[in-house]
């Protein structure tokens, strides 16, 4: 998915607004393992994933808890930093070499103030992210680990080939041993 397609997938923009937004995006290539955003830090940039995959996680004493995967077409942002200028909860790690585009949060906010189409695009992005967060919460609370795995297979099958089983297990809230059992039962 190109950066243009990623932007327009969120909300249609007039050509002039799209050009204005795209002119501010800076291409960045980063290597697997790079920590793009850090927990407990106010992050000042927003990233668009053109190629690659990332994970959002929170650290615990004995392990990491993965709670989100981003891939081509997704936007990487610390919402808490962006909205409240407070330190974020999550770290974002690149799981593959990534081609990204970045824009400074302040620059994006200035665009929202001067271009109503881009402001509507930002609102629609926030609404879609809220729905995704709600769906993850509901899934975690009301579905079994097997149901969550099947849901992942149905909605994001490519993830299973690109992400380690350890990260998948963490995302599902189970151990790798439990994930292996689920996978064996499904086959």
Summarize pLDDT for 121-167 with one digit per residue, the tens: 999 999 999 999 999 899 888 999 999 999 999 999 999 999 999 99
Task: State what percent of residues in the chain have pLDDT above 70.
Answer: 100
Among candidates 136, 99, 94, which has minimal Cα distance to 2? Answer: 99
97 Cβ neighbours under 8 A, 6+ residues apart = 29, 30, 31, 32, 52
42 Cβ neighbours under 8 A, 6+ residues apart = 81, 85, 86, 87, 88
pLDDT at 140: 86
**Residue 27 banded pLDDT, cuts 50, 70, 90:** very high
Among candidates 97, 96, 113, 108, which has minimal Cα distance to 43? Answer: 108
**Residue 26 banded pLDDT, cuts 50, 70, 90:** very high
* Mean pLDDT taken over the chain: 94
* Residue in this structure with the two tokens 């940039």, named with its chain if needed: 45
Q: What is the rounded distance in angstroms from the CA atom of residue 78 to the CA atom of residue 112?
A: 18
Q: At residue 187, does pLDDT exceed 80?
A: no
Question: Do 103 and 46 meet the contact criterion of CB atoms below 8 Å apart?
Answer: yes
Question: What number is the average pLDDT over the span 37-48?
Answer: 96
How many residues in the chain?
187
pLDDT at 186: 87
Thinking of the domain 3-142, which architecture would CATH place it in? Sandwich (2.60)
pLDDT at 11: 95
Tens digit of each residue's pLDDT (9 = 90 or more) over 63-87: 899 999 999 999 999 999 999 999 9
Q: Compute and round to an integer the Cα radius of gyration of the chain.
A: 17
φ, ψ of residue 69 to 5 degrees: the values are -120, 135
pLDDT at 61: 84
Q: What is the rounded distance in angstroms from the CA atom of residue 150 to the CA atom of residue 62?
A: 27
pLDDT at 13: 97
pLDDT at 89: 93
pLDDT at 63: 86
């Amino acid at each position: 998915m190109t950066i243009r397609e990623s932007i327009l997938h969120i909300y249609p923009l007039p050509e002039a607004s799209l050009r204005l937004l795209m002119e501010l995006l800076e291409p960045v290539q980063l290597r697997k393992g790079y920590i793009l955003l850090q927990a407990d830090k106010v992050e000042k940039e927003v990233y668009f994933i053109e190629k690659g995959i990332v994970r959002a996680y929170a650290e615990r004493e004995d392990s990491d808890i993965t709670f989100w995967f981003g891939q081509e077409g997704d936007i990487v942002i610390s919402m808490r930093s962006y909205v409240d200028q407070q330190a974020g909860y999550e770290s974002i790690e690149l799981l593959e070499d990534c081609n990204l585009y970045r824009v400074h949060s302040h620059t994006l906010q200035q665009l929202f103030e001067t271009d109503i189409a881009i402001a509507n695009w930002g609102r629609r992005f926030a609404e879609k992210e809220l729905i995704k967060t709600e769906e993850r919460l509901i899934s975690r609370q009301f579905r079994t680990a097997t149901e969550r795995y099947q849901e992942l297979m149905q909605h994001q099958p490519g993830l299973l080939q690109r992400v380690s089983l350890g990260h998948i297990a963490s995302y599902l809230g189970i151990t790798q041993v439990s994930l292996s059992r689920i996978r064996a039962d499904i086959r």
